[in-house]
Structure 1
Amino acid sequence: MTYRPITGTFLDEMTHDIPSQNWGPEEWQREFDTFVDAGIDTVIMIRTGYREKLAAPSQTIADHRKVLPVYVDLVQLFLELAAERDIDLFFGLYDSGFHWHRNDWTVEVELNRRYLHEMYERYGSSPAFRGWYLPHETIDSGLRIIDINTALAREIRTFSELPILVSPFFHGRTDQATGPRGSVRTVEEHVRAWEEIFRAYSGLITHCAFQDGTADLLALEDLTAATAQAAAASGITLWSNLESFDRDMHIKFPPLDWRKLAYKLDVVQPYVEKVITFEFSHFLSPNSTWPAARNLYRRYRDHLLVREGDR
């Protein structure tokens, strides 16, 4: 079996709980060159708007609520940089951070329906625009996530056949930085919940990449194996979202210990089609403002050399 390295990364410039690196076009050009060197062929804008912050101007969101000014159109910038390097870009929708958390899911959906048409009309002709990301992330079917994601996927399918990605999380551990989430679920409980969701997503959602840092390390392989089987039964391809930040610290969030990265990458190999990460630029890049991220990148490349030599 060919060893699968990390070949995709989220881009998180509508930062929610990690600090901005304050990069401009020059730094992003350097980073996209690094993506090529690192073997990354896919970037996913995790969201193009969050609450009052936007990655690109949007009349739809501005009509809905007060927003901050957009000084640099990051969607246009990232599409141009991706197109020049033949990198696929998955476009993340808008997360209000409000309506759906109040179970007012219909407002979230209607807002995003208008938004995704506005954005696709402006950017959809880019050769790098090669997929969609639905940014509303949950553990299970709570917060009406099935209704939200199926409604948005059906809207996308009225005009686009590009792949659609989601990235939920396991209910599998506590989180030192944000506190416990209550008792963890067994593999069997997880599968029962996600079989229902995958059936609803069948024919609409293309790829699912669980956030691996939300599982206990020693449970990750069993969870991934069972999830892969459940996803395949509904025609959904399982990816792995390898979190390159460390949830075991009491701060949000430092780069991951390299041994955890190596372990997580190793154990998912038989079960997933692709490995992506949240998030290369902050936590794994040799260009990161974190010195530990630069070291993590070196250890990651060392690990790949070892695994490739094992073949």
Structure 2
Amino acid sequence: MKTTAILVSLFCFILASCGSDDHNGGGNGQDGDYNLQEEIRKILNSTKATKNINPFDELGCEIYRTGPTSAEEPTNATIDYDLGDDYKEGVGSFKLKYSFSGKPMTSNPEYVYFEETWGDYRPDLSFYPLGLSIWVKGQKGNKGVFRFIIMEDEKQFSADKPHDSTRKRWQYYAFEDEEILSKEGWNRLVMPYSAFKLYKKGQGATADGLLLNRFEGFRIEIVNTKHEVCTGEVSIDALEQLTSYELKNGKPKFSSIFVQLNTAYVNEDWDKQFQDSRAIGIDTWIIQYAEQFTDGENTSISFYKNTNMPWITEKYDFVDQMFEAAERNGIKLIVGLYPGDYSKTNTASPEKYNLNLERNKMVFDELYEQFGNHPCLEGWYITEEFHDGSYPVGWQQEPSLSMLAKYLEGVASYIKTKSDKPVSIAPALWRGMPADLCGQWFGRIFAQTPNIDYLYIQDLGGRCLVDVDVDLPNWFAEIKKACDANGVHFGVDIESFQSCWCPNVPYREKNWSELKEQLFVAGLFTEYITNFSWVTFKKGTNNYTSYKKYLEDNGLL
């Protein structure tokens, strides 16, 4: 598709080398009864799944900041970073080069930092948390203390001030290690959350301890505590969160599948496609658009023959043929309407909503007249895909949120004036907010859309932006709460393709092992599981063959 319970379990610290050598670290002033080795054992024994925070494989995939560079923190120290040619995991690592003058310009020791902050596709560290892990490769003779900082904002996404660009609200928690920078070879630094100490108090912050679901980013500082003149080089790789979450597999199956029509479907044998679909237990198809999507207002192609829309200049009879073949083969069809899009500059402006609403009404009227009483019509689909993110603009705050809800309800309520069939939507999960806030956000939308019946949340499992087994259960659970509270059926739209911009992965079908994990996660929350799309799942693909075998092996066919 278009691109589009906080569990704080606090433990301790370990530095485990590549071999059998264990390094305990220090510098955190733990109490005398703090049994480091026992806590280490508990953490390692409890870790079931990891959340990839940053693999440090490519420079261009994220935006980083180094410093200090502000007038408030004058320094002669320097830091730079580049892609390293040595790595522990993946295909790369980051190399940090730093220098100290030995003459601090303030009362504090010289330090330099490297940091990343979140926008969309953010981590939420509150899900079965144990600690953080990062691989570090130091050099003999390196000076300084390694300080890892978790940055959080207790009031992020608040209505009055969603984001604090001044960082005055931000609260910092730090872990320090005095030896890792000078330790040669790759060493794994595991930093359980109980090892983090309050480093900087945020203005107005009331939390007593880490709020792992208000994570703004991380910072790595190198601190010249001994005021030495020196240079150094250190590499970092594979920053992860360790969690105790263990996926419990059920036996879920797909309830439907999407098809994205285009002119390549001329002369398609829909009888064969539907028979192949029935052979793997899928009897419902969602037609994504009734007209060609063009990422704008220049739609000129209709996929149903009898249309008088003034913007249409080219007509095909794909939808007509699909209804005819569906009746012969016992297939149900959910029909998408006008392929509109939202404003990419101002989601608080009414123009695009008004245009989309009027065109959806016009297209629905034609489709209802022709197919509204067809026995294979299962429902309607509002095609415009929104998301919970912020890029380039979004709907996280008012008035955009209510304008979006008003638009969706406008289309859905108009459909219900003529048809008693359910209405579905399929927004994308961009993880633009922590999971709990994302769920509340959907709840505010659904409270204003009583005629929306089904939500199929796009899992974005095809975009290289999500840890399926850790991210998705967290967000799914919160969004499902919003659905349940508002009478909306929670469903999942699984991406059976892989297409990523960073790292660059050309469009392809997903491996079955990847797709199966997505299916298992969705099955924990719903029986309404659709698949985008037939082109990467149809007969002849490995997914089709593997899924059929999965069904047969589990007695599901």
- TM-score, reference length from structure 1: 0.82
Alpha-carbon distance between aligned partners in 1 of 2:357 and 2:268, rounded to the nearest angstrom: 32
More strand by share: 2
The Cα of 1:35 is off from its aligned counterpart by 0.9
The correspondence for 1:279, drawn from 529, 533, 540, is: 533
Alpha-carbon distance between aligned partners in 1 of 2:363 and 2:409, rounded to the nearest angstrom: 16
1:199–1:55 distance in 2 versus 1, CA, 3 Å: same
The Cα of 1:137 is off from its aligned counterpart by 0.6
Give the conservation status (yes or no) of the 8 Å contact 1:224–1:271: yes
Question: C-alpha deviations, 1:254-305, integer Å up to 9, x for none?
Answer: 111211111111112121131110102x101114xxxxxx112222233334
Question: C-alpha deviations, 1:176-223, integer Å up to 9, x for none?
Answer: xxxxxxxx4321221121111121223x01111101126442211121
Q: SS of the counterpart of 2:326?
A: helix
- TM-score, reference length from structure 2: 0.47
1:295–1:69 distance in 2 versus 1, CA, 3 Å: same
Alpha-carbon distance between aligned partners in 2 of 1:248 and 1:259, rounded to the nearest angstrom: 18
1:17 corresponds in structure 2 to: none
| Aligned length in residues | 280
Tell me the amino acid that sits aligned with residue 157 of structure 1.
K
Alpha-carbon distance between aligned partners in 2 of 1:4 and 1:84, rounded to the nearest angstrom: 27
The correspondence for 2:522, drawn from 251, 268, 272, is: 268
Alpha-carbon distance between aligned partners in 2 of 1:48 and 1:100, rounded to the nearest angstrom: 23
Give the conservation status (yes or no) of the 8 Å contact 2:382–2:423: yes
Alpha-carbon distance between aligned partners in 1 of 2:339 and 2:370, rounded to the nearest angstrom: 19
2:83 corresponds in structure 1 to: none
Give the conservation status (yes or no) of the 8 Å contact 1:60–1:111: no
Alpha-carbon distance between aligned partners in 1 of 2:318 and 2:283, rounded to the nearest angstrom: 18
2:153 corresponds in structure 1 to: none
The correspondence for 1:153, drawn from 401, 406, 412, is: 412
Q: How does 1:50-89 map to 2 (within 5 A)?
A: 50=293, 51-57=299-305, 59-61=307-309, 63=310, 65=311, 67-70=312-315, 72-89=316-333
Question: C-alpha deviations, 1:116-144, integer Å up to 9, x for none?
Answer: 11221122222111210010111147364
The correspondence for 1:239, drawn from 469, 475, 491, is: 491
1:196 corresponds in structure 2 to: 444
More helix by share: 1
Alpha-carbon distance between aligned partners in 2 of 1:48 and 1:115, rounded to the nearest angstrom: 8
The Cα of 1:252 is off from its aligned counterpart by 5.4
Two-structure CA RMSD over aligned residues (Å): 2.4
Q: Point out the structure with max Rg over C-alpha.
A: 2
* Ranges of 4+ aligned residues in structure 1 off by more than 6 Å: 98-102
Tell me the amino acid that sits aligned with residue 539 of structure 2.
P
Between 1 and 2, higher relative CO (CA 8 Å, sep ≥ 6) is seen in 1
1:258 corresponds in structure 2 to: 512
Alpha-carbon distance between aligned partners in 2 of 1:239 and 1:194, rounded to the nearest angstrom: 14
The Cα of 1:57 is off from its aligned counterpart by 3.5
The correspondence for 1:42, drawn from 273, 284, 309, is: 284
1:178 corresponds in structure 2 to: none
Question: What is the percentage of aligned positions where both structures have the same residue?
Answer: 21
Q: SS of the counterpart of 1:208?
A: strand
| Residue segments in structure 2 that go unaligned for 5+ positions in a row | 1-248, 294-298, 389-393
| Residue segments in structure 1 that go unaligned for 5+ positions in a row | 15-19, 173-183, 288-293
1:96–1:166 distance in 2 versus 1, CA, 3 Å: closer
Q: Does 1:129 align with 2:377?
A: yes
Q: SS of the counterpart of 1:200?
A: coil
Tell me the amino acid that sits aligned with residue 24 of structure 1.
N
